[in-house]
Amino acid sequence: MCSWRFAVGSWLACLVFATPALAAKPLGHEGQWITDPHGRVVVLHGLNLVNKIPPYLPGATGFGDDDAAFLARNGFNVVRLGVIYAGVERNPGTYNDLYLNGIAKVVRVLAGHGIYTLLDFHQDQYNERFHGEGFPDWAVQDDGLPNTPDLGFPGNYLGMASLQHAFDHFWADSPGPGGVGLQERYAAAWAHVAARFKNNEHVLGYDLINEPWPGTHWPPCAAAGGCPAFDAQLGAMQQKAIDAVRSADPKHLIWYEPNVLFNYGSEPTHLPALAGGELGMSFHVYCLVSAASVCASGEQSAMSNALTRSASTSDALLLTEFGATDDVATLRRIENEADSFRLPWIEWAYCGCNDPTTSANPRASRRWWSIRASRRRARTS
């Protein structure tokens, strides 16, 4: 039964909070709207779950069936699940299926409670060498520059030249081990993951790269009007990944991302139109200041820019990160803003998990362990 109905363009959509039991095939889309196999609009609200610490397995955080049940009881129906590239391809051209078994186990646990999973190749600051995570050591080309100054997260993006050069080499598709381009390795790893999950109707799709950073070319991206030259590079890289995924999986949604500076609302995206069937744009909203009124303006601008992108491309939209705080007023404000734009959303994050690259980590970690402790007490009382 539909929760309620509303007009989408010239057609009438039925809005549902779908569960995997309703789906005979993966979710698709109609323009910006995520839809079920019956053409009904699906409202997705959820949380991120990423373990950024080796061995990068979500289960190593303690996440299990009780957590999935807790999410479902509180009305959440999607989790953006971090898949760390370094865990997938520890050595060039060799894939770690034991790691993917761990990812698949969490997908099954979530599906058992009616929760979809968005698989996310998550990176922050590229690699542990730069006090981040994501890419394997063999994919780091930093031109021998020192890892200074160390400004932490996210300061190293702006000030650490070695980190910026590592991104430059990735965007340039520089040859890596065996003379194979870094992007070709990355795309092939995505194809391997997609082949593993291609028949899983509980998977929402594939988020190609988290918060792509422009490297040394970041200043133009921070200026009003954006950075068409870098966005063209970013689009070309994501098109390679889309093509690789489609070679393995013709059905699931593929989610590309704009450059990370889009998330602050000051610039539109200049990504080219991408080809590959069922596509969507995954984007985030964050704020660099503390004034709620200023933040709200930037958040709404980012959402408006996302709608402009979808109007041009007919791609789906999904707000896949916001928050990074346990301040209820901030979370409620952003959720209300997203709802007013009729955007599905996924908050950052369910699990603090000693996260090295989240500014609100200490508070988030305390919240996580407090939740787990309260549930353990409830089970034993």
Hey, is 205 helix, strand or coil? strand
Q: Residue 378: pLDDT above 50?
A: no
Which one is predicted more confidently, 56 or 8?
Answer: 56
Q: Residue 136: pLDDT above 90?
A: yes
pLDDT in tens, 28-57: 999 999 999 999 999 999 999 999 999 999
Report pLDDT for 224: 85
| Under 8 Å between Cβ of 216 and 164 | yes
Q: Residue 75: pLDDT above 80?
A: yes
The per-residue b/e assignment along 168-203, b for 16 or more CB within 10 angstroms, e otherwise, is bbbbebeebeeeebbbebbbbbbbbbbebbeebbbb
Domains delineated in the chain:
44-380 (3.20.20.80)
Query: What is the pLDDT confidence band of residue 261, given thresholds at 50, 70 and 90?
Result: very high
pTM for the predicted model, two decimal places: 0.90
Report pLDDT for 237: 98
Beta strand 11-16 pairing with 4-8: antiparallel
Q: Which of 105, 12, 96 is nearest to 54 (CA)?
A: 96
Report pLDDT for 8: 41
pLDDT in tens, 357-373: 986 543 333 333 343 34
Report pLDDT for 288: 86
The encoded tokens of residue 308 equal 């402009």
Mean pLDDT of 246-261: 98
pLDDT in tens, 204-235: 999 999 999 999 999 999 988 899 999 999 99
Report pLDDT for 1: 35
Looking at mean pLDDT, say which of 19-23, 275-279, 371-375 comes out highest.
275-279
Mean pLDDT of 269-295: 94
Query: What is the pLDDT confidence band of residue 171, given thresholds at 50, 70 and 90?
Result: very high
